[in-house]
Amino acid sequence: MKRNLSQTSVQYVKGVGPQRKKTFLRLGIDTVEDLFYLFPRRYEDRRKMTPLSKVEIGKWQTVTGEILSNSGRKSWHTKKHVYEIEVGDKSLRIFCVWFNRPYLDRYFKVGQRVVLYGKVDIYKDRLQLVSPDYEIISDDEEDKSLSIGRIVPIYPLTRGMTQRYVRKTVKRALDKYSSETKELLSYNLRRRYKLDNLIKSFLNIHFPESDKAQEVAYRRVSFEEFFLFQISVLLRRLSIVRKKGTAHRISEKFCSSFLDLFPFSLTGSQQNVIEEIKKDLSCAYPMHRLLQGDVGSGKTLVAFFGALAAASNGYQAAIMVPTEILARQHFEVLEKLLKKSNFKNKKIKLFINTTDKKEREKTINEIKQGKIDILVGTHALIQDGINFKNLSFVVIDEQHKFGVRQRALLSAKGMNPDVLVMTATPIPRTLCLTLYGDLDVSTISELPSGRGQVTTQAFKPEEEALAYKAVRAIVERGEQAYIVYPVIDESEKLELKSAQKMFKRFQLKEFKDFKVGLIHGQMKKNQAQDVMQKFKNREIDILVATTVLEVGVDVPNATAMLIEHAERFGLLQLHQLRGRIGRGAKHSHCFLITEPTTQEGVARIEAILSTTDGFEIAQKDLMIRGPGEFFGRHQHGLNELKIANPQIQLDILEDARKEAIALTEEDPSLQNKANAAIKEAILNRYPAYLANILSG
Ligand code: ADP
Ligand code: MG
């Protein structure tokens, strides 16, 4: 009988005590299996080290040598702590500096051997590495054999852990347990796709014999992960189709009351999407639909349609969004809409992580008793202990900010509710089916008419005064502006302007005759909400902010946005930020202060200057970054994939999907004995939303 490695604690590995176990937990590693799946963030080829005399200036390289001297001091100039070591081999010397890492004072000792990885520069006529990755090579034979003379894995670390230690622990775990891994891919399947067995693959992922071997191993482990993932997606799809949900009755009268809520008429796209949703809601099978639409295309209204339909049928609806600002905004908009309408008797409520315990208890009770019809909130909605009386419609807004699990947790609070997930990040068609194989897709392809144009313009850092002047001109005519920074305060990144610092400066200097506000993610909740309210009421003219603005915020009188250090933001992020303006009829202006230094940075800025169309932006982003970086994993709820990466391994994903389809067609409940191990593995990995499917 083989041990279950997903239930064998890392503590069984030699050298891991209770303390270390805690540290491993911070990396998300609990079991031996987790350790096997700890994917190195990169590898260093230390088979042949470059002598210092042969290093190439301007390139990232690995070098090694002996520490000849070390010193730490405080720079009188910048007040930063500066730590320096001098490292030499037989051929030459190199200097390494780190800033603000006082703990290094006690770390290195003269005479030790170190391996360093960084970009080699020339500074004051000497070779230099700034803040390189470093590793001390001890005299211990086990350490040495794992750390030099081979392709060496470099793992993600957490405080209190060294490469050396992780490497040793992984090696010991592999030695002791790798023979007990369960092979899930049949021999035939492996042969068809030229995949190694699992044991060999794990060995080559951690301690590759060659680059090629690592590649093959990576393919193999990824294939298996995709395979399980796709089976889970397909099973979910099957189970939804088989389930019984709520058939809502949607009358003409309801529809006209709904349209009466708005002072405008719906766009053609909105009408089409609502038609699709109407059909889904009316039928007895649960809806499972993804709504894509660019920033500002009016998705919220579609969500409200469903929520009100549920409420009008005597059921409950829940709308989940990623930030409290957005939750509050949706809530307020909805409250205002309903006030004097035919829906005024519908009870709506905001639910966020409020501190007030009593209020919370009360709301939880009302939810349970069905006294609340529509609940709007954040992640707070999916906590244990929140139970609905009869939830029949669920919305997940800005769904790329949530994971599959969170999506599932909210749905699980209802009786197979109709589910609408919404996103402003368009997804190329090929990827869509594979990643969202369990969802139907609707698209809003146009913006409401009457929107003012948005012009985007870039300034260099030394031209900041011009940009501030442009903002001033707009605020002087009674419109409002956002000024966005990548960081909150200067301690985060020294060389950057920060929201905090600039807020103070603007109040005293550039914008002292205006009302300037500040908002960021680390503010107290009620404080942030107060600031947002003031901005909406025009009691604040200029709002200095971080990316908390990125999602959803809707203040049509804000017609200017200045983004400093714009090269620091991702392209989609810039697009989302810019989506905060151009919401009214007036012409809006986006100003970027930026000096991109990388090729990608230049391309991103060019792209954002060239178009405001979200689908085009997404396409450009895909080209600039390559599929590899386009999607953050969490965006697709692929948290459960530990090694496989759908973006760069699309071909493998497609193969795995094909095999998963074949398998689930043949054995939809995974009852065959031959599939028992697969079933167990899937239940292990995707327990939250598959247990009930497979046990039934
Ligand atoms: P998003 O798709 O980014 O979530 P919202 O739903 O927040 O966009 O809508 C943005 C703004 O457009 C809101 O102020 C909303 O009232 C307005 N809006 C939505 N649909 C229309 C429409 N058909 N005509 C005019 N304005 C609309
Ligand atoms: Mg929205």
Res. 666 pLDDT band, cuts 50 70 90: very high
**Nearest alpha carbon, ligand 1 atom 20:** 298
Pick the residue whose CA is nearest to atom 10 on ligand 1: 296
- Which residue lies with its CA nearest to atom 5 of ligand 1? 298
**Res. 1: pLDDT tops 50:** no
User: Averaged over 104-124, what is the pLDDT?
Assistant: 91
Chain segment 463-522, per-residue pLDDT in tens: 999 999 999 999 999 999 999 998 877 665 556 788 999 999 999 999 999 999 999 988
CA torsion angle 157 161 165 169 (round to 10): -70
Domain ranges in the chain? Answer: 1-41+167-181, 42-154, 264-444, 454-612
What does the pLDDT read at residue 334?
A: 96
How many contiguous H segments (helices) and E segments (strands) does the chain have? Answer: 23, 21
**In this prediction, what percent of the chain has a pLDDT beyond 90?**
59
- Average pLDDT taken over every residue of the chain: 89
CB 85 within 8 A of CB 95: yes
DSSP-derived 3-state class of residue 352: coil
Stronger pLDDT, 515 or 644, i.e. the higher one = 515
Structural contact between residues 269 and 297, judged by C-beta atoms closer than 8 angstroms: yes
State whether residue 20 is helix, strand or coil: helix
- pLDDT value of residue 636: 42
HSE value, Cβ hemisphere, 13 Å, CA-based, for 658: 9
Q: Is the CB of 103 under 6 A from ligand 1?
A: no
H or E element, residue 681 = helix 676-685
* Cα(394)–Cα(392) distance, integer angstroms: 7
Q: Regarding the domain delimited by 1-41+167-181, which CATH topology (the fold level of the hierarchy) does it fall under?
A: DNA polymerase; domain 1 (1.10.150)
With cut-offs at 50, 70 and 90, classify the pLDDT of residue 649. Answer: confident
Ligand 2 centroid to residue 377 C-alpha, Å: 14
Strands 558-564 and 374-377: unpaired
Across the range 556-571, mean pLDDT stands at 94
Distance CA 548, CA 540 (A): 17
**Is the pLDDT at 646 greater than 80, yes or no?**
no
Tell me the CATH architecture of domain 454-612.
3-Layer(aba) Sandwich (3.40)
| Band (259; pLDDT cuts 50, 70, 90) | very high
Question: Could you tell me which of 555, 532, 546 has the C-alpha nearest to residue 484?
Answer: 546
Q: Whose CA is nearest to atom 19 of ligand 1?
A: 298
Same topology between domain 264-444 and domain 454-612: yes
CATH class in words for 42-154: mainly beta
The pLDDT of 382-396, averaged and rounded, is 95
Decide if pLDDT at 59 tops 60.
Answer: yes
Query: Would you state the pLDDT for residue 625?
Result: 67
298 lines ligand 1 (CB under 6 A): yes
Judge if the beta carbon of residue 614 lies within 6 A of ligand 1: no
The secondary structure of 511-560, three-state, reads CCCCCEEEECCCCCHHHHHHHHHHHHCCCCCEEEECHHHHCCCCCCCEEE
The pLDDT of 293-311, averaged and rounded, is 94
Our answer on whether the CB atom of 446 is closer than 6 Å to any ligand 1 atom is: no
Entry pTM: 0.65
Verify whether ligand 1 is closer than 6 Å to residue 245 (CB atom).
Answer: no
pLDDT of residue 606: 95
Q: Which residues contact 563 (CB under 8 A, 6 or more apart)?
A: 483, 484, 569, 574, 577, 578, 590, 591, 592, 593, 594
For ligand 1, atom 9, name the residue with the nearest CA.
298
In whole angstroms, give the CA distance from residue 437 to residue 40.
29
Q: In percent, how much of the chain has pLDDT > 70?
A: 93
Asked whether 424 lines ligand 1 (CB < 6 A), one says yes
State yes or no: pLDDT of 54 exceeds 80. yes
Ligand 1 nearest-atom number relative to CA 299: 2
For residues 212 and 216, what is the distance between their CA atoms, to the nearest angstrom? 6
Instruction: Give the pLDDT score at 634.
Output: 38
pLDDT at 243: 80
Class of the CATH-defined domain 264-444: alpha beta
pLDDT band at 615 (very low <50, low <70, confident <90, very high): confident
Atom of ligand 1 nearest to the CA of 266: 23
